Structure 1
């Protein structure tokens, strides 16, 4: 199985919705909860008012992991949040998703607040995910994190199985370090392991203007394939082509570029426009045309994303703004990775 990490945002959910029917059973996305803004913490329920309906329309029948911890990341506060009817954040969101009969695997992180972990473990699900951010601590801490998790999951029922996500993000990590983490956390009872990482660049600063640039190899996939030979049950996940880059204050649209982060089977490329103010939008069809002429372009029928690129190249559609390229890139990346893992 392939475990792409996705934000619960319009573009990444669009990429998921547009997957081919044959690809959908091969994917278990890890969806990060919408983040509650610090200024909205008193009215946090509004952030999730349409959660169930929104996900049902986009995820449909795909099983997915839902990371509740991300909801708190921008609040600066780990205190328990209660809704108007007395349910906490986890209970409230699970209720919204269960109303739509979504196939959810609730998830907490290794250092989530105690109340959140307890709520997930006592939610009645017999399949739970644990996301361990290995990139945030040194290898010597692995045994301590393991012991904490072992104690935490005592609250789970005896038949609960766990998907353990070892998240190395974009940190340069040796195969030995990853293997040692696999060895430690595989001791969690009734567990399967997902190796999650990325080498996709956070921004397009390395890319040439008005062209298609090779950025570098898909190191995370190469490491997974090496690890797989010693760990045949190991699963793979990545950040697709969308990292956690912060939105800069004072962002000026006219002084920015359109770009598509494009994955081949072996490398990451960036297709980048001129500055918007210099005609970047009006000439982006030329960049899409250049992309379709590359030997790694699989053709317009390969994915929704590739069809959109072809349409733009042929001037059937105009790609404008920074949102559409995200859905295009993420959709193509997921289809590419599914296709590779099926071999």
Structure 2
């Protein structure tokens, strides 16, 4: 089945909780790509790992259990993009087959992600080649900035992709292509569209199952999105505009929408600061409506969330409590029933985002079909 939406989500508790609250129909239409975060200071100093002699293995087991807790019995893509290409666990086994085999044991059907940027590393390519993938499973070829730059030299770019497929003895029909632009805060929609169109045109003849475009327009820090404290602002979702433009320009080409949820690809992992601003990132049509507060260390501290939630609920953008679990929590906060810290608001914002995007994509596809039918009749 071709998915409606491919969210690239951090494999962390906040995102797991949001995924767990997805409506069943939305989950059925979604193919998540879970990103395994690096082991940072917060993990190394965590009490639960105190005295652990195999912290990489223990950490990965914890992450795999988290994925299985919300996605067992379904297909997921999983990648360790931010880890070294030759990363291993303590017994010397490469992390990729360890992650995939553990997830399979836990009941998650894994669609392996092939990193174009990492394929030249022999230990990485060998690890993927050695993993026993069921014949009915699909792969995803991930093209990041390295591949996007290489696409400017078509012969070299396509030769590299042919090598990857040959090394894996993989038919392109069993593989999707993720064109991952990552952080797009400083890239125009026009540039994104031109690059994506060029890559799709170059790879059409391979016969890939479908293409996915992805990026994130949210800046790393809230002050870069909304300058003034205790105010509201809008952030254009360039990744959505890119996808809609491609769908309109090449309606016969299967291109799926992907994004990074409400946290960018390069946001700090597990780093907490008393100076964190209160904020709500609320997904609306081709934009984020951002309600910004002030530093949690200033008067009002966490209680400022009551006011921020009330501002959102009273705005014309609020979808209403029944729309998603996250929308219900926003309403609860506006009534001072809950407050929540930064991790809880990542969950709330992500919950609304997942529900909204599925609806947004489906509505656009319906509109596009209606427009095409109307043109045909005329």
The TM-score range, normalised by the shorter chain, is 0.7 to 0.9
Aligned equivalent of 1:59: 71
Aligned equivalent of 1:75: none
Which is helix-richer, 1 or 2? 2
Q: How do residues 274-289 of structure 1 correspond to structure 2 at under 5 angstroms?
A: 274-276=294-296, 277-289=298-310
C-alpha distance 104-311 of structure 1, shift in aligned 2 (>3 A)? same
The answer on 1:29 being equivalent to 2:45 is: no
C-alpha distance 71-278 of structure 1, shift in aligned 2 (>3 A)? same
Instruction: Give the Å deviation of 1:65.
Output: 0.8
Q: How do residues 105-144 of structure 1 correspond to structure 2 at under 5 angstroms?
A: 105-112=111-118, 113-125=121-133, 126-134=137-145, 137-138=148-149, 139-141=151-153, 143-144=155-156
Q: How do residues 136-215 of structure 1 correspond to structure 2 at under 5 angstroms?
A: 137-138=148-149, 139-141=151-153, 143-159=155-171, 161-171=174-184, 172=187, 173-205=191-223, 206-207=225-226, 208-211=228-231, 213-215=232-234
Deviates more, 1:166-175 or 1:136-145: 136-145
Instruction: Give the Å deviation of 1:8.
Output: 0.6
Q: Give the CA RMSD over aligned residues.
A: 2.6
Cα distance in 2 between the residues matched to 1:80 and 1:217? 36
Instruction: Give the Å deviation of 1:330.
Output: 1.3
Cα distance in 1 between the residues matched to 2:350 and 2:288? 12
Q: 1:13–1:59: 8 Å Cα contact kept in structure 2?
A: no
C-alpha distance 135-286 of structure 1, shift in aligned 2 (>3 A)? farther
Cα distance in 1 between the residues matched to 2:170 and 2:305? 56
The answer on 1:225 being equivalent to 2:237 is: no
Structure 2: runs of 5 or more not aligned: 45-52, 364-378
Q: Secondary structure at the match of 2:288?
A: strand
Cα distance in 1 between the residues matched to 2:95 and 2:205? 30
How many residue pairs were aligned?
334
Cα distance in 2 between the residues matched to 1:250 and 1:267? 26
Instruction: Note the alpha carbon deviations across 1:128-157, whole angstroms, 9 max, x for none.
Output: 111110377535145423321210221324
Structure 1: runs of 5 or more not aligned: 73-77
Cα distance in 1 between the residues matched to 2:241 and 2:117? 29
Deviates more, 1:296-305 or 1:50-59: 50-59
Cα distance in 2 between the residues matched to 1:6 and 1:269? 20
C-alpha distance 243-10 of structure 1, shift in aligned 2 (>3 A)? same
Instruction: Give the Å deviation of 1:169.
Output: 1.9
C-alpha distance 88-267 of structure 1, shift in aligned 2 (>3 A)? closer
